[in-house]
Structure 1
Amino acid sequence: MVLSAVAVLVALFLGGTPVGRAAVAEILRFAGVELRIGDPGPQPSGMPVPLPGERRVTLEQARGQVAFPISVPTELGDPHEVRVSDGGRVVSLLWPGVRLDEYDGTLEVVFRKELGPPWPEEVYLGPSQAQWIPARHGLTYLPRGGGTAPLRPRSAGPTLIWQSAQAGLRLEGVDDLQRALRIARSIR
């Protein structure tokens, strides 16, 4: 009993304080995204690298090329651009300053995020859990099958991550949590 209490206190210190989080990296897998929480190191710089096989398509073409339903947030209207990547593994809907990536988030990790403070926040979209990352952070794409090297990390803006049926979704570029939640709730 005493040993269990000590283990709980050590875990609370290591996971619940900035010093503890810097000392121990946590790994959380959620909706096809691996969140590495600890000391993120320097932010990536330079231009983002396109995802493997990334190409512009229409929304209808994208729907015919993926194995999961593509959803569009009515709050943002029709996307200005649609891209399909990695043999239909990822669909990216783009508006000025906003990106919604949709992907098969049920089987394997698709993206890795390197996070330091401020820490991700657990939020809810109705009964479903989501993760809110309020600050810039490193984002790495992990190509299908894991056989090829991950892409060079890029800097990502505030992001909301959630699961909808068999698709993982990551909404990037909306820096207000309440607006991000409104957008996510408007998905159709």
Structure 2
Amino acid sequence: MNKNGIAIVDDHLLFAQSLTSLIATLDKYEVLFHSLNGEDFICKLSTQTTVPNLVLLDINMPVMDGLETMGWIKENYPALRVLALSMDDREETIIKMLRLGARGYLLKDIHPDIFEKALDDVLIKGFYFSDRITNTILDSIDKKEETDKLRLKEREMEFLKLACTERTYKEIAEDMFLSPKTIDGYREVLFEKLEVKSRIGLVLYAIKNKLIEV
């Protein structure tokens, strides 16, 4: 059986070695190479005869970090599927990675079974986001009808698109010339309409329904 090739980009050698050992126990996957940072990844990728099916990308790395690397991948290998794997659980970092085209975001303390499911989902469904990161369920987005977009009012759509940026809710209120309390109201209305529970859920909905470009 042909295995799916994985590239690991992480500057922590011990973690990368442990991850390589874990992947070696999975029937459908194999590690093609390991890179210490984005610059090293670009160099090694250029020497590969086969492009990896999936890249496991750390965020905080020297020389060229995960965000810079994700930007390069988006520009040069847009079809390459990337799963972010990091200890950084900040909302702004997750949103940046989603906007750059990451197909999933995992924290490094996940259970091995969840890790394998994430690999499967990214390759089969195209996305994976755990409840811990998104606080929402992608399946509920898949089931929403196209009419949902039509139910969004113009100002709600404006808020949704701004929520998919790095701007804080306070800055969004200033951009829309509204009070923070009114912005909180828009947020809660969209949470209910779109059946999501977090800002990350809003971003996922916008990406899945092509309301923003990634």
Q: Which category of TM-score, normalised to the shorter sequence, fits these structures?
A: under 0.3
Q: Max radius of gyration: which structure?
A: 2
TM-score (norm 1): 0.25
Higher strand share: 1
Question: If each structure's helix is expressed as a fraction of its own residues, which one has the higher value?
Answer: 2
Q: Which has the higher contact order (CA 8 A, sep 6+)?
A: 1
| TM-score of the pair, normalised by structure 2 | 0.23
